[in-house]
């Protein structure tokens, strides 16, 4: 009987070891499955982060390119405005020159109409005095030295003054 008990103990021990081995295998398989799940979740997170980074980079680049295009458009608009301003400035200068010429011509015509034979003698004497001091420097491109309001008069003003001085006495 002792062999029977030993055989029974050996059999129970074998079954117990088999059960432990089966439990260890099941635990190992469960750990492997949990690791696979963790790896899959990490891969999913990496994929989501990569997708989010790609979307953010695309949005950032689109914003950058839109800002660059807006800057180019603003620069082109500024250049067009500068060109229009230059044309307007030239037109204003031409209009002012035309007004100065017209005013000078009107003043000359008025002065000629008012002049009479008696004023010719007086004009000759005045022209002898005024012309060398006003007309000669203007003709040479140099404004005579003056003080007060005459000091701020430009070449066009001096030319008009010289024209008036000469023609009003003729």
**pLDDT tens digits along 15-27:** 888 888 888 898 9
The answer to whether position 102 is within a domain reads no
Query: Distance (Å, rounded) from C-alpha 86 to C-alpha 93?
Result: 10
Residue-number span of the structural domain to which 166 is assigned: 115-170
Q: Does pTM surpass 0.75?
A: no
If one compares 139 and 47, the residue with the highest pLDDT of the two is 47
Q: Which of 42, 59, 94 is the last residue of a domain?
A: 94
Tell me, what's the pLDDT at 93?
Answer: 83
Do residue 12 and residue 69 come from a single domain?
yes
The answer to whether position 106 is within a domain reads no
The answer to whether position 123 is within a domain reads yes
| Residue 150 banded pLDDT, cuts 50, 70, 90 | low
Do residue 56 and residue 13 come from a single domain?
yes
pLDDT digits (tens, 9 = 90+) for 83-139: 888 888 888 888 888 888 888 887 777 666 665 444 555 655 555 555 555 555 555
The answer to whether position 71 is within a domain reads yes
Most confident range (mean pLDDT) of 21-30, 60-69, 78-87, 157-166 is: 21-30
Do residue 44 and residue 1 come from a single domain?
yes
- What mean pLDDT is predicted for residues 55-66? 83
The answer to whether position 67 is within a domain reads yes
Specify the number of domains making up the chain.
Answer: 2
- What mean pLDDT is predicted for residues 33-42? 92
Do residue 82 and residue 124 come from a single domain?
no
Do residue 17 and residue 89 come from a single domain?
yes
């Amino acid at each position: 009987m002792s062999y029977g008990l030993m055989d029974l103990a050996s059999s129970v021990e074998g079954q117990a070891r088999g059960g432990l081995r089966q439990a260890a295998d099941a635990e190992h398989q469960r750990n492997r499955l949990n690791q696979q799940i963790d790896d899959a979740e990490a891969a999913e997170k990496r994929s989501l982060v990569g997708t989010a980074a790609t979307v953010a980079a695309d949005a950032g680049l689109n914003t950058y390119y839109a800002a660059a295009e807006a800057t180019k458009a603003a620069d082109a608009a500024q250049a067009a405005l500068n060109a229009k301003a230059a044309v307007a400035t030239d037109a204003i200068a031409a209009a002012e020159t035309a007004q100065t010429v017209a005013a000078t011509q009107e003043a000359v015509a008025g002065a000629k109409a008012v002049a009479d034979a008696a004023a010719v003698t007086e004009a000759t004497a005045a022209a002898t005095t005024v012309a060398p001091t006003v007309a000669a420097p203007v003709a040479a491109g140099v404004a005579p030295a003056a003080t007060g309001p005459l000091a701020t008069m430009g070449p066009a003003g001096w030319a008009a003054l010289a024209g008036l001085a000469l023609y009003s006495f003729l």
